[in-house]
Amino acid sequence: MTNRPQVAVVTGGGRGIGRGICLALAQLGHALVVNYRGDSQAAQTTCQEAERRGAPRTPAVQADVADLEQGQRLLRETLASLGRIDLWVNNAGVAPARRLDLLETTPESWDRVLANNLRGPFFLTQAVATTMAELRSAGTVAEPQIVFITSISSRFASTARPEYCVAKAGLSMVAQLFAVRLAALGIRVYEIRPGLIETDMTRPVRQGYDEKIAAGLLPIARWGTPEDVGRAVAAIAGGAFPYSTGAILDVDGGIHLRTL
């Protein structure tokens, strides 16, 4: 086994939850590939902060994971640059451009959201898993891991964004499928379900959820942060769950709890 630093790839790593994940992994000393789709300045800022926090190398790689060829290129460029992949975090995703009622959802919005949030990560993870199995067989990596960032929307129905809920619910099953298939290959798979996380994506609905939180929506009565999600990924990356695969970590302020 080589003594080179472990390598983590975070799709959509330049902003929001992805940025929180990158900075948490940097503090573990991981080399990072910060994937981004369009905002190169945000990605570079994340790279600089990650290096300040301890990441030895942090190349930023532009690729749209909804495009299968670009996803393959991201994988190839990671291997060419850093030579290994110990952790792959499927984080990149999009919200509907407009929140529309279930009865008004358009095929165009459906196709866009599912391409980014479900189809792209599924086929990219196929390629990542094959690569990880080869790296492990060659002795390049010891315990490769894959993390899917889903959402409480995989469990809670929101009729104002049905395409997002369907995509995240599908991604939850994708995580389960890969966990079953890859266990025998020595690759562990985890799902993290964030709740209400304070990011650019949630800014348009901030006021409405502020009111719901104040009224008791969450047992832990605050918004989550990208750092909260980052800590969960760092625990996985640090080997905290060696006898788990397919596990779901709820980072949601307790909203999933049922009470009477």
**What is the pLDDT at residue 1?**
47
Q: In DSSP terms, which residues pair with 89 in a beta bridge?
A: 10, 147
**What is the pLDDT at residue 91?**
98
Q: What is the DSSP letter of 117?
A: I
What is the per-residue burial (b if ≥16 Cβ within 10 Å, else e) of 73-92? ebbebbbeebebbbbbbbbb
Give the CATH number, domain containing residue 85: 3.40.50.720
Residue 202 lies in a domain: yes
Residue 111 lies in a domain: yes
Residue 95 lies in a domain: yes
CA R_g for the chain: 18
Q: Which residues are catalytic?
A: 164
Whole-number Å distance between alpha carbons of 92 and 232: 17
**What is the pLDDT at residue 210?**
93
Whole-number Å distance between alpha carbons of 154 and 151: 6
Residue 2 lies in a domain: no
Residue 35 lies in a domain: yes
- The closest alpha carbon to 202, from 114, 41, 93, belongs to 93
Per-residue pLDDT of the chain (260 residues; tens, 9 = 90+): 456 899 999 999 999 999 999 999 999 999 999 999 999 999 999 999 999 999 999 999 999 999 999 999 999 999 999 999 999 999 999 999 999 999 999 999 999 999 999 999 999 999 999 999 999 999 999 999 999 999 999 999 999 999 999 999 999 999 999 999 999 999 999 999 999 999 888 888 889 899 999 999 999 999 999 999 999 999 999 999 999 999 999 999 999 998 88
Residue 259 lies in a domain: no
Domain that holds residue 15: 7-251
Backbone angles phi, psi at 18, to 5 degrees: -60, -40
Contact by Cβ (8 Å): 189, 182: yes
Residue 229 lies in a domain: yes
Number of domains observed in the structure of the chain: 1
